[in-house]
Amino acid sequence: MSTVDYALDDGIAIIWLNRPERLNAVVAELVDDLLEALDAVAKSDARAVVLAGRGRAFCAGHDLKEPTPEGDSRSRLDRLQDVTRRLRGLRQPVIAAVHGYAIGAGAEFAMGCDLILAAEDAVFAFPEVSLGLSVTGAASRLLPLLVGPLKAKELLLLGERVSGAKAHELGLVNAALPADDLMDTALDWAGRIAAHPAAAATMAKRALDSGIDSSLDAALELEVSHALITEHSAEVAASAEAFRSRI
């Protein structure tokens, strides 16, 4: 795995997104590597997981500097959504440790986790509408559950950035911390979870997710349908070209 690092120590698995030169922006290789790491966790004796990002960001969303891949768009979108499915399908609770940017797909990766810790100065945003795109990582289902439907529409329709501290006020994250304390706290929480009987932690996760995930597949399918409509639009082509011209 060249774009994701994976380690297991004393019952805690740590997965690092590792494209720091691109702020861990999403490309197909990163999705493949992340799914491989999640599969390794599923087969391991880990009792808790921390998902974090190397460098200056958690994940800055899709890498708009890269051209839209050719081939079957549905297959690629399903593969991306598999990240949310695998995160939620793991028997181990997963903690997202978010610093720097968590934009678009990056914010969706975080929401796929069971708990979210954020640096106070982290930056969350859902810019898809402003780019002519559709959300694809179950944000249409998970975001309203976390912040309420009105605030979810505000975040999606306006696309404004919110800090980690504001995200905590909204209920988007469990806690906002000084950046220097983020990983220590994430590992502390993971250690506390790992100290509990593993079967009980799994059952608690399953029970809490059972009602949420009953509608998750329908949300993911609708997101793919919308993404297939928007992906090759003139608006998306223009916004992508405008982004590339700024780099």
Mean per-residue pLDDT pooled into runs of 10, the chain (247 residues): 96 98 97 98 98 98 83 85 96 98 97 98 95 87 95 96 98 98 98 97 93 72 74 62 51
Which amino acid type is present at position 121? D
DSSP-derived letter for residue 104 is T
Catalytic annotation, residues? 108, 128
User: Are 115 and 189 a contacting pair, CB within 8 Å?
Assistant: yes
- The pLDDT assigned to 240 comes to 54
- DSSP alpha helix (H) spans, the chain: 28-43, 73-89, 105-111, 139-147, 149-158, 164-170, 182-194, 198-213, 216-230, 234-246
CA dihedral (164, 166, 169, 173) positive or negative: negative
What one-letter code names the amino acid at 224?
V
Taking CA atoms, 169 is separated from 35, 109, 143, 166, in Å, by 31, 20, 14, 5
pLDDT value, residue 247: 43
Tell me how far apart the 2 most distant CA atoms of the chain are, in Å.
53
- Count how many Cα atoms sit within 13 Å of the Cα of residue 68 in the half-sphere of its side chain: 18
Residue reference for tokens 């982290």: 122
pTM for this prediction: 0.88
What does the pLDDT read at residue 112? 96
- Closest to 83 (Cα-Cα) out of 164, 10, 15, 7: 15
Q: What b/e sequence results for 103-132 when a residue is b if at least 16 CB atoms lie within 10 Å of its CB, and e otherwise?
A: bbbbbbbbbbbbbbbbbbebbbbbbbeebb
